[in-house]
Amino acid sequence: MRPATLLRTAVWLSVIAFLWRPSAFAAVFAPFTHDGAPAIYDQGDLADLALAHLGLVLFATALSAVIAVLLAVVVTRGPGRAFLPMSRSLVSIGQTFPPVAVLAVAVPLVGFGSLPALIALVAYGLLPVFENALTGLAELPASVLEAADGVGMDAWQRLWSIELPLAGPLIVEGLRQTLVISVGTATLGSTVAAKGLGEVIIAGLLSDNTAFVLQGGLLTGLMAILLHDAIGRIGAYVLPRQG
Amino acid sequence: MIEIDGLTKRYGGTTVVDAVDLRVPTGSITAIVGTSGSGKSTLLRMINRLVEPSAGTVRIDGRLTTEEPAHALRRRIGYVIQGNGLFPHRTVAENIATVPRMLGWSDVRIAARIEQLLLLFGLDPQIHAQRLPAELSGGQQQRVGVARALAAGPSVLLMDEPFGALDPIIRAKAQTDLRAIQQQLKTTIVIVTHDMDEAFLLADRIAVLDNGRLLQYDKPTRLLTAPASAQVSALTGTADRALRLLSLDTVMVAMAPGHADGLQLSASMSLRDALSALIWAGVRAATVCGADGEVVGQVTLEAILARGAAHQ
Ligand SMILES: Nc1ncnc2c1ncn2[C@@H]1O[C@H](COP(=O)(O)OP(=O)(O)OP(=O)(O)O)[C@@H](O)[C@H]1O
Ligand SMILES: [Mg+2]
């Protein structure tokens, strides 16, 4: 087995083992507690929270990816092209906007729970995919596009079989960024009562229990790394080779 | 036959192709020449409606090109551009299969066609079919580009400086190959070039464009011996026009009965090459041999020189 595969397998196995039997790891986290506080998060099921966290992130990312790619497709052709410069500046402005601010705006509108977290994640996750899809679609070689028209592809065939596959690697790269950002941002969701690993961190902070903070932090961090890795591999498998 | 009538393209206030009339006979090669920006590409691209004309009509085999959707029209017309425009994420075989697939050919028929075309273009199906364009040399990519354009057996092939990116030796080979393939398939070809040698080598007829207007559309010989204007002469070049004229005929036309000592030339050689061979050998006459090496006559320096004179 190659070292990368070995490491990947080891990380996956430890995460699964920890979620399956957190109590088995009590000794590892005990040094981070004091005054007889529990070493393992005991106010909910860690696996449950991790799954909810993952579900929220994946759903939000899928949603923002679809919206972002559609928007990028629209502003790179036909009448939509008039909005290309504007959307480019919107993207760069949008990325300077902190996700907490999006949450703060969403709560008064839709109340507490998973919905404001989802809105914040989707809104914030739009940007990397949109920006990359835009670059990928707007900067395709002119000769390839001319050839696609020249052989008699209609607009859909050209988009589906030439433009999107060629912009694919950049779009996947954007998707990776979105996923990593979302995993982190989703912890903030717990401040508005969305279910997720943020609960563990917040509980740790409130009860001054570093072990809880570590557990929540490690799980989110590893989730981000594993997703980042998985998307890259799925992308390499799904996308065509390009010489 | 391609019939072009009053074809015009305007961008804003400027007319880049101005009321061009052109008749391209079926199975012939027409070269469009002219200085940069004279409207060659625009004229070519109006034939397959990559550019929509501002005025005028194009008929292919009697049928107006506007009678069907543009993409349907383009599937019936081969199109080759400089830098080949191959799809980088598709293999050579998939690139060639593009149009047949859109036309709904069966897999068996497509596979047979790919193999046939690769062989025709001197590529090995076993080695090259599954390669990506990036894994081919420039000359091979260019051949695949032409093969893709010919895949569905179009009766018309449009080429925009197809050999522009090739080095001189590969380009010369590509040109002779194209000529041979064209004679085999009887495709009607319109080729844009600003390489005058290429135009004279390939074309049955040459269209000279200047500022969007068609100055002359004629046989290559006529362009040299009866230029419509000083601009045409300037474009075809005056310094070496006698040699260019000689390059258009074979030894066959200057041949006389008899035979000479020493030098032997092939009957299919151009007069220009024959002249060069005579000068090089330092002789005034050579024996002419047919395809099987049999003696068919002789050619003299005087006879060749006479063919290069403006008025014959
Ligand atoms: N989409 C366009 N909008 C405005 N002007 C254009 C457009 N396309 C071409 N032109 C102009 O039309 C003129 C003819 O262009 P065209 O590409 O047909 O020239 P060409 O003869 O092919 O030149 P070259 O040898 O450099 O390829 C040029 O002056 C060019 O700037
Ligand atoms: Mg051009």
Q: What is the mean pLDDT of chain B?
A: 93
If we measure between CA atoms, which residue out of B79, B83, B99 comes closest to residue B133?
Answer: B83
Please state, as a whole number, how many other Cβ atoms lie within 10 Å of the Cβ of residue B177. Answer: 15
Structural domains present in chain A = 45-242 (1.10.3720.10)
In a mutational test of the B interface, the residue from A139, A143, A145, A151 whose CB has the highest number of chain B CBs within 10 Å is: A151
Taking only the tens place, the pLDDT of each residue in A103-115 is: 888 888 888 888 8
Higher pLDDT, A193 or B208: B208
Q: Does A150 touch chain B if contact means CB atoms closer than 8 Å?
A: yes
Nearest Cα residue in chain A from B48: A150
Cα-to-centroid distance, A77 and ligand 1 (Å):
21
Task: Report, as an integer, the average pLDDT of A189-196.
Answer: 87
- Confidence (pLDDT) at B300: 92
In chain A, which residues have their Cβ closer than 8 Å to the Cβ of B88?
141, 144, 166, 242-243
Backbone angles phi, psi at A41, to 5 degrees: -50, 125
Interface of B with A (CB under 8 A): 48, 50, 69, 71-76, 79, 81-90, 98-99, 102, 132-135, 148-149
Backbone angles phi, psi at B195, to 5 degrees: -95, 105
Task: Please say if the pLDDT value at position B199 is more than 70.
Answer: yes
Nearest CA-CA distance, residue B305 and chain A, Å = 45
Contact B134 A243 (CB under 8 A): yes
Task: Please say if the pLDDT value at position A174 is more than 90.
Answer: yes
- Band the pLDDT of B311: cuts 50, 70, 90: low
Taking only the tens place, the pLDDT of each residue in B234-253 is: 988 888 889 999 999 899 98
Taking only the tens place, the pLDDT of each residue in B210-240 is: 999 999 999 999 999 999 999 999 988 888 8
Atom of ligand 1 nearest to the CA of B44: 18
Task: Establish whether this prediction's ipTM goes over 0.95.
Answer: no
Cα-to-centroid distance, A155 and ligand 2 (Å):
24
Task: Please say if the pLDDT value at position B82 is more than 90.
Answer: no
In chain B, which residues have their Cβ closer than 8 Å to the Cβ of A240?
89-90
Q: Give the span between the Cα atoms of B204 and B31, in whole angstroms.
A: 8
Q: Is B140 in the pocket of ligand 1 (CB under 6 A)?
A: no
Q: Where are the alpha helices (DSSP H) in chain B?
A: 40-47, 70-75, 92-102, 107-120, 125-128, 138-150, 168-185, 196-202, 220-225, 230-236, 241-247, 271-281, 301-307
The two beta strands, B29-34 and B205-210, are parallel
Q: Does A166 touch chain B if contact means CB atoms closer than 8 Å?
A: yes
Q: Which two tokens stand for residue B16?
A: 């880049």
- Confidence (pLDDT) at A243: 60
- Band the pLDDT of A90: cuts 50, 70, 90: confident
Taking only the tens place, the pLDDT of each residue in A124-167 is: 888 899 999 999 999 899 999 999 999 999 999 999 999 999 99
> What distance, in Å, lies between the first and last C-alpha atoms of chain A?
27
Q: Give the span between the Cα atoms of B118 and B136, in whole angstroms.
A: 13
Torsion of CA B90, B92, B95, B101, to 10 degrees: -100
Contact B75 A151 (CB under 8 A): yes
Cα-to-centroid distance, B40 and ligand 2 (Å):
6
Q: Which two tokens stand for residue A75?
A: 């502003």
Nearest Cα residue in chain A from B74: A152
- Confidence (pLDDT) at A182: 92
Q: Strand order in B295-300's β-sheet? A: B264-266, B285-289, B295-300
Task: Please say if the pLDDT value at position A227 is more than 80.
Answer: yes
Q: Does A235 touch chain B if contact means CB atoms closer than 8 Å?
A: no
- Band the pLDDT of B288: cuts 50, 70, 90: very high
Q: For the stretch A3-42, what's the b/e string if a residue is b when 16 or more beta carbons lie within 10 angstroms of its beta carbon?
A: eeeeebeeeeeebeebbeebeebeeebeebbeeebbbbbe
Radius of gyration over alpha carbons of chain A, in Å? 21
The residue whose CA has the least distance to atom 26 of ligand 1 is B36
Q: Where are the alpha helices (DSSP H) in A76-163?
A: 84-94, 99-110, 114-138, 142-150, 155-158
Percent of chain B as helix, strand, coil, to the nearest 5: 40, 25, 35
- Confidence (pLDDT) at A92: 74
Q: Does A234 touch chain B if contact means CB atoms closer than 8 Å?
A: no
Contact B82 A143 (CB under 8 A): yes
Q: Give the span between the Cα atoms of A162 and A242, in whole angstroms.
A: 12
Q: Give the span between the Cα atoms of A188 and A199, in whole angstroms.
A: 9
Nearest Cα residue in chain B from A143: B85
Please state, as a whole number, how many other Cβ atoms lie within 10 Å of the Cβ of residue A237. Answer: 7
Cα-to-centroid distance, B99 and ligand 1 (Å):
27
